Chain A
Amino acid sequence: MDKPQNNRAWFMVLPVLLLVAFSAIIPLMTVVNYAFNDTFGNNAFFWVGVEWFKETLESDRMWGALQRQLIFSFTILAIEVPLGIAVALAMPKKGVWASVCLVLFALPLLIPWNVVGTIWQVFARIDIGLLGYSLGLIGIDFNLGQNASAAWVSVIMMDVWHWTSLVVLLAYAGLQSIPDAYYQAAKIDQASRWAVFRYVELPKLKGVLLIAVLLRFMDSFMIYTEPFVVTGGGPGSATTFLSIDLVKMALGQFDLGPAAAFSIMYFLVILLVSWAFYTIMVNLDREEERSE
């Protein structure tokens, strides 16, 4: 193996390394720096060890936000995944209408987050909003600013409206990849509609659904803009999710140390939960294959 070593090749990697350093590594390290130090400005730092982490872990505020975050993420998953599959199943398989449906479903995905938030904020208002005003007419108090359940319903409906399309598109692509022969064989075997779904469609959708669940989980776990625009985290802290809380702490109160510790843990939690999701789902798959 007398290959000539040419270390100049490393220079080729340099631009990418620089880019990644400035865009990811250095900012992340700054956060790490803040998480273990206290500062009073002027670039003067005092080492505080794990003090900020302890403080964050002991704060009820963080645990409350985490709990709300988990409830939110699992609720929207529980709605968006089945709904997305159902819509994909109901869509026409080919022809002009298939294209029309695809375009219509892609639309919400193209709207910027803060615009989505604004749309729903206006939609839910009790004075001029279609939803809030109509509900008021039939005697339901849908005041986002005062009623925590109204705030939750709005935020969840908004996320479902915005993101079910993603599940629909993924599931639709998955369904399109099932060869006709499977449906024909099921017909020949006289399978019911439910059996076709359970034994033909669902197994073939597993791969795309895994991706859909992962994407929706990660994304909803980091959600900030939309609920912030609609409810601002309120009433009180009823819809204050992790990232809203984090921004309040870092920019509102300028508690950079605790906020840095918080963000590191936040990052690790997302990483951990996503990894757990992935491993569990992939293992379920293998288990099935191995079982004798």
Chain B
Amino acid sequence: MARIELKDLAHSYLPKPGGEDDFALKTIDLDWDDGGAYALLGASGCGKSTLLNIISGLLEPTRGQILFDGADMTHAPTTARNIAQVFQFPVVYDTMTVRDNLAFPLRNRGMQASYIKERVQQIAEMIGMDSQLSRKARGLTADEKQKISLGRGMVREDVNAILFDEPLTVIDPHMKWELRTQLKQLHREFGHTMIYVTHDQTEALTFADKVVVMHDGRVVQLGTPEELFEKPAHTFVGYFIGSPGMNLLDAKIDGSTATIGSHQVPLGAGYAALSGHTQIGIRPEFVTFTDDTNGLPVQVTQVEDVGRHRIVRVGFEGNTLCAVLPEGAPLPEGTQNITFMPDQIGVFENDWRVTPSTGGAS
């Protein structure tokens, strides 16, 4: 187990990268605490898998350093890093039995037969495959194969970290839940550093203590699920986390008031003068319909019932906003007024969150 530090890391798949656009990973500085359960969250193609492969040593970064407990591992081969990794699609050794598949990483490290036997049994029970240990792996279903891959990832006890690269993509939803819970439990029991790559926010938020959100080759925020929800550091986090994501509106910020077109919206705190492209962001959960004519006049366009609550989409001066309506609230129709909870409004300058200069909680 180890603390993993990434220093000034960047990677390009091109042999001679020119501008910043050539880099799949732009500059990354990040520390992964020993024993943490992290999720690496981001849209497809944002560099999550690249980052993971650099940590496990399958890729060598173009620039920067990787330290394990302070020791430089940047150019160390995968075998020297002692890392386990589970891939998106199941990788099993077809001609081996389930037992041999699970024992493979241990045998390659020359462990004692008695220990291997015991450990394999333990892991097999955990992934629910103990009754099929003597079976050949090739005839198994995709979920079973992926369970073996997961098992093979977890079978070594002394690994520095376990990396998961969207491991539950091929697993059916019910089993997904169960396996995720097991992973979490395993984390509590053994305290391995775990990094879990996913583009599914539910998966990220339920698995991890800390979530790293990546966007376009950069880490835009590292925080607890609450922090990501309440104080997204970047408009991408606001938009990506939450269902539906945060509403963003271009606005002029003047002290504690935001001006959107001809309308004024009070903010929960005061801001210093901002120069760049300024926006306000508000989660749909904090948008309310009101009779007060001081609110923003909107046109209701669509209502989606998603079970526990309803999502109302409204049009406002060419923008589409979402509001979450609690169960039982009357359904708005036609032209309405909405207000935002002032404390929950975030201000963004050039996509990055701005800390207020006066008042407010943050």
Which residues of A come within 8 Å of B, CB atoms? 179, 181-182, 184-185, 187-192, 195, 199-200, 202-204, 288-289, 291-292
Contacts and interface: CB of A to CB of B under 8 A. Distances in A.
Given A191-B108, A289-B136, A185 B94 contact: no
B83 A188 contact: yes
Contacts of B108: 189-192, 195
Given A182-B91, A189-B108, A199-B96, 16 more contacts: A181-B88, A181-B89, A181-B91, A184-B58, A185-B85, A188-B56, A188-B83, A188-B85, A188-B153, A190-B79, A191-B104, A195-B104, A200-B93, A289-B138, A289-B139, A291-B136
B182 to A, nearest CB: 20
Given A187-B78, A291-B136, A179 B89 contact: yes
B89 A190 contact: no
A62 B149 CA distance: 56
B138 A184 contact: no
A31 B88 CA distance: 60
Contacts of A185: 85, 87, 91, 149, 152
Given A187-B78, A288-B138, A289-B136, A181 B104 contact: no
Most buried by B among A179, A182, A184, A195: A184
B87 A181 contact: yes
A286 B314 CA distance: 60
Contacts of A200: 93
B138 A189 contact: no
Interface of B: 53, 56-58, 77-79, 83-85, 87-89, 91, 93-96, 104-105, 108-109, 134-136, 138-139, 149, 152-153
Contacts, number: 62
20 contacts: A181-B89, A182-B91, A184-B58, A184-B87, A185-B87, A187-B79, A188-B58, A188-B78, A188-B84, A188-B153, A190-B109, A191-B104, A195-B104, A199-B93, A199-B96, A203-B94, A204-B94, A288-B95, A289-B139, A291-B136
B77 to A, nearest CB: 8
B337 to A, nearest CB: 54
Nearest to B87: A181
A187 B58 CA distance: 8
A187 B91 CA distance: 12
Contacts of B88: 181
A292 B134 contact: yes
A203 B95 contact: yes
Contacts of B87: 181, 184-185
Contacts of B136: 288-289, 291
Most buried by A among B93, B104, B153: B93
List the 3 shortest-distance A-B pairs measured between CB atoms, nearest first: A185-B91, A189-B105, A190-B108
A204 B149 CA distance: 18
Nearest to B100: A199
Contacts of B56: 188
A77 to B, nearest CB: 22
A291 to B, nearest CB: 6
A203 B94 CA distance: 7
B135 A292 contact: yes
A77 B76 CA distance: 42
Contacts of A182: 91
Contacts of B138: 288-289
Given A181-B87, A289-B139, A292-B135, A190 B95 contact: no
A216 to B, nearest CB: 23
B207 to A, nearest CB: 20
A177 to B, nearest CB: 14
